[in-house]
Copies of this chain bind each other. A is one copy, B any other.
Amino acid sequence: MTDRRNELMDACLAYFLAHGVANLSLRPLGEAVGSSARLLIYHFGSKEGLITAVMEEIQARVQASFSVAADKAASDAGPMAVFWAWTTHPDNLPYARLLYEIQVLALRNPEAYGAYLEGSSSGWMALILASMPPSPEALSKATLCAALIDGLLLEFLATGDLRRTTAALELFSRLLQSQPSPPATTHKKRERR
């Protein structure tokens, strides 16, 4: 019943990753996936329905793929290094690019794209917070880490310079580990790692 629909969904997903969603047009998309604009509307109701369906699928895949990677290397390296390695992998990079695109689109019309932002930067915040020991600065620290990954990833996408961006991340990790405790706490308690 939804057999052909699933096939189309997979093909559309690949097309989204390759061409983005900002200037999406049904007729070229239909032709690229071996179908037609007519059938895309038939199976997904409308262009917006198609985008919604595909983006939900993308979000599910991203989370699934990342959770696998995160479990596998839970305490192997730092969580940030794990996430960085996963995101910059060539297989996963198109997802990041697409999520950036949607995030920027959502800045202008949140009612259309705001729903997909859960999987983006602020969505990872909770995940980061959960993997951190609670502290009065946990929120700032999580924001810091998330923003840094975001910025480095955008820089990597723009320049393709994996070495420089990775070096910057490693420098940050060193900074983070060298100073676990903020300047003014009650009384300098030893932090064990």
Mark A residues whose CB is within 8 Å of B.
Answer: 19-20, 22-23, 97, 100-101, 103-108, 117, 120-122, 137, 139-141, 143-144, 146-152, 154-155, 157-159, 164-165, 167-172, 174-179, 182-183, 193
Contacts and interface: CB of A to CB of B under 8 A. Distances in A.
Contact of A140 (B19, B139, B168): B168
A182 B171 CA distance: 8
Given A139-B164, A164-B140, A158 B103 contact: yes
Contact of A22 (B108, B147, B157, B159): B108
Nearest to A155: B147
A104 B100 contact: yes
Main secondary structure, interface of A, reads helix
Contacts of A171: 137, 140-141, 144, 182
A158 B22 contact: no
Q: Which 7 pairs from chain A and chain B are nearest by CB?
A: A151-B151, A147-B151, A150-B151, A143-B168, A144-B168, A147-B152, A140-B167
Contacts of A176: 175
Contact of A143 (B107, B139, B144, B152): B152
A183 B193 CA distance: 19
